[in-house]
């Protein structure tokens, strides 16, 4: 019988054989396996941790705040320290995990064009600040794995033709047919670069400052194994693989979602969780829903996947007053196996992605959503369509402003609609990711858009901590109201076993103006009926429609209102949310 270490060797070797099946390597698979295990410091049995298959290293208390390292700034203090103080003062009881968007030196794209993966951006702080955050929160770090900055030392060595990185980048001939390549930008795919070895055309999926790696070279794989090991040593336990769907390129294909990419993720999972058993991988794949689901593999690939279809469907639901599409999508979603989870979010540093809504909303509905968001100050980012034209790729807007009205225009229900959106997300199967500007009710930042000329800047406001504290300490400010309401939702949520990320979920059929689903705890003791009026009109539901068991006592966890069996109907004011449970957890 093989030892634990021998089993690990065999598994890594298999991953490599699949990834490099069509590549002639300078070293044998056995040698490359050993190099990877040495890099991860798991080259002996007593160093190898054994992850439990189909084990959930998370529960209903897990909520992740998404933020830039400098979303909150204070004079004479590094932003990472200011962020830590904010989290300790306002979030300790409601947030246990934090995703700090790329905190490395960078040249563009607000951090996603990394110059040096091994350093913390000096303008933000240092590794001690990251370690301090890791001591209080479970920290998620980006691994910007598809590309790096054209100003990196690696790319400079590529230009010089010598040194580390000189053979790290993917090149192609402009004569090759790249018409099948799928990418989210309209810029030229290939960047002409003068090098010591002549003219090279470097592949750039995103921008010409973001040059794509060539994972056909195993040195690139080893470099990222070393980077991940450094992050693990600092205390980081969750890894967001950014833009990973584009990792492997192959002539004559779409260069997205290729099998080599999936196998590379399986390899990284094997390496990471045998180094630290409860470490987690989340894949960031902003693609149509069915393709996105494939990144779970057979519970052997990503632990978590971004639920990219949720944001456009949920916003569309609340601005149209109809949950028909959201209900159909939710009813069709497979449950995540134990050992995997959906990462739910409705706002992020990017925007409202529209590709994940393709096939779920028709062109007319997408156009109506785009027009409505533009009426609320949103900007539109475009991509090349299959016919050579342009198609809306994402809507850039602060979520608070996005929900200030409906397709009919702005109204008085903005705050209630905004809270309803989060009450829906917090109840769904999966782990919620809450963008800091949603927690704070931040508005569109038009000035930043003017200063940067980038649409995404509209939802990347930087708060002065003193002004933020003044706003949060004023009970009448929208920011204070939002934080208070969000904190209440999260305080209730984290106490409910039925909100475990892998607890049972069943979609309810309550008409188009009332959205609902049922959750049941893993031990089947607790049931919660999550019901939401997603319209601007009062709605009435019959309690018989949700089949409350007569022998149990029922209570709305959010209002603490007892639900009597003698009551025939429940009145829902516009955008009211109720979580009706047979167990009232004190909070």
E strand or H helix at 463: strand 463-464
CB 563 within 8 A of CB 546: no
3-state helix, strand, coil in the chain (%, to 5): 35, 20, 45
Return d(Cα 107, Cα 93) in angstroms, integer: 36
Listed residue (494, 547, 12, 533) closest to 272, CA to CA:
12
Helices and strands in the chain: count of H runs, count of E runs: 17, 27
Return d(Cα 172, Cα 192) in angstroms, integer: 10
Listed residue (146, 142, 139, 67) closest to 102, CA to CA:
142
DSSP per position, 286-311? -S-HHHHHGGGTTTTS-SEEE-TTHH
CB 397 within 8 A of CB 444: yes
Contacts (Cβ under 8 Å, ≥6 apart) of 341: 56, 58, 303, 304, 430, 431, 501, 502
Q: Binding site for substrate, residues?
A: 109, 147, 240-242, 349-350, 456
Return d(Cα 423, Cα 317) in angstroms, integer: 14
CB 314 within 8 A of CB 275: no
Listed residue (207, 220, 116) closest to 170, CA to CA:
220
**Which letter does DSSP use for residue 512 in this model?**
S
CB 394 within 8 A of CB 353: yes
Three-state secondary structure call for residue 127: helix
Helix axes 127-136, 218-234, angle to 10 degrees: 60
Cα torsion at 216, 218, 224, 227 (round to 10°)?
Answer: -160
Contacts (Cβ under 8 Å, ≥6 apart) of 119: 104, 105
Determine the straight-line distance between the first and last CA of the chain, rounded to whole angstroms.
51
Contacts (Cβ under 8 Å, ≥6 apart) of 454: none
Any idea which residues carry the catalytic annotation? 242
Residue where the block lists tokens 């300490």:
473
CB 398 within 8 A of CB 445: yes
3-state secondary structure 310-369: HHHHHHHHHHHCCCHHHHHHHHHCCCCCCCCEEEECCCCCCCEECHHHECCECHHHHHHH
Alpha-carbon distance values, 523 to 95, 135, 342, 520, 527 (Å): 25, 31, 20, 8, 10
């Amino acid at each position: 019988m093989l030892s634990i270490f021998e089993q690990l060797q065999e598994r890594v070797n298999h991953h490599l054989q699949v990834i490099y099946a069509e590549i002639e390597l300078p070293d044998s698979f056995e040698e490359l396996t050993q190099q990877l295990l040495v890099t991860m410091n798991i080259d002996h049995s007593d160093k190898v941790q054994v992850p439990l298959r189909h084990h959930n290293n998370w529960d209903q208390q897990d909520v992740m705040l998404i933020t830039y390292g400098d979303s909150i700034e204070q004079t004479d203090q590094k932003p990472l320290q200011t962020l830590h103080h904010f989290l300790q003062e306002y979030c300790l009881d409601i947030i246990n995990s934090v995703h700090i968007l790329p905190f490395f030196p960078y040249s563009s794209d607000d951090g996603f064009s990394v110059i040096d993966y091994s350093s913390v951006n000096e303008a933000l702080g240092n590794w001690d600040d990251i370690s301090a955050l890791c001591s209080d929160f479970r920290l998620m770090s980006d691994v910007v794995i598809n590309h790096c900055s054209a100003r990196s030392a690696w790319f400079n060595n590529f230009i010089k033709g010598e040194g580390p990185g000189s053979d790290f980048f993917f090149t192609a001939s402009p004569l090759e047919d790249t018409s099948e390549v799928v990418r989210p930008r309209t810029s030229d795919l290939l960047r002409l670069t003068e090098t010591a070895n002549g003219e090279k055309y470097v592949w750039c999926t995103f921008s010409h400052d973001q040059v794509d790696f060539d994972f056909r070279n195993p040195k690139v794989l080893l470099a990222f194994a070393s980077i991940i090991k450094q992050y693990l040593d600092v205390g980081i336990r969750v890894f967001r693989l950014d833009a990973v769907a584009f990792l492997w390129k192959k002539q004559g294909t779409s260069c997205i979602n290729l099998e080599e990419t999936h196998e590379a993720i399986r390899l990284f999972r094997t390496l990471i969780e045998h180094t630290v058993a409860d470490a987690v991988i989340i894949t960031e794949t902003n693609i149509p829903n069915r393709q996105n689901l494939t990144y779970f593999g057979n519970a052997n690939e990503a632990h978590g996947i971004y639920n990219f279809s949720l944001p456009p469907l949920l916003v569309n639901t609340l601005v149209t007053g109809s949950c028909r599409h959201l209900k159909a999508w939710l009813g069709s979603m497979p449950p995540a196996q134990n050992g995997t989870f959906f990462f739910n979010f409705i706002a992020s540093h990017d925007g409202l992605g529209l590709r994940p809504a393709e096939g779920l909303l028709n062109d007319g509905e997408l156009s109506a959503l785009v027009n409505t968001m533009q009426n609320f100050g949103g900007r539109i980012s475009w991509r090349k369509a299959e016919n050579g034209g342009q198609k809306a790729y994402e809507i850039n807007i602060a979520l608070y402003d996005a929900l200030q009205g409906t397709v009919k225009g702005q109204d008085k229900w903005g705050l209630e609609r905004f809270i309803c959106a989060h009450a829906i997300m917090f109840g769904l199967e999966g782990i919620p990711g809450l963008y800091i500007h949603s927690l704070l009710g931040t508005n569109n930042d038009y000035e930043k858009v003017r200063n940067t000329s980038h649409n995404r800047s509209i939802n990347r406001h930087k708060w002065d901590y003193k002004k933020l504290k003044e706003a949060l300490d004023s009970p009448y400010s929208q920011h204070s109201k939002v934080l208070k309401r969000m904190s209440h939702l999260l305080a209730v949520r984290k106490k409910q076993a039925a909100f475990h990320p892998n607890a049972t979920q069943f979609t309810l059929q309550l008409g188009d103006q009332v959205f609902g689903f049922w959750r049941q705890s893993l031990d089947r003791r607790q049931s919660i009926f999550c019901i939401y009026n997603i319209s601007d009109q009062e709605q009435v539901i019959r309690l018989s429609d949700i089949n409350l068991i007569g022998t149990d006592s029922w209570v709305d966890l959010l209002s603490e209102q007892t639900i009597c069996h003698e009551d025939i109907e429940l009145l829902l004011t516009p955008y009211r949310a109720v979580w009706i449970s047979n167990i009232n957890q004190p909070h």
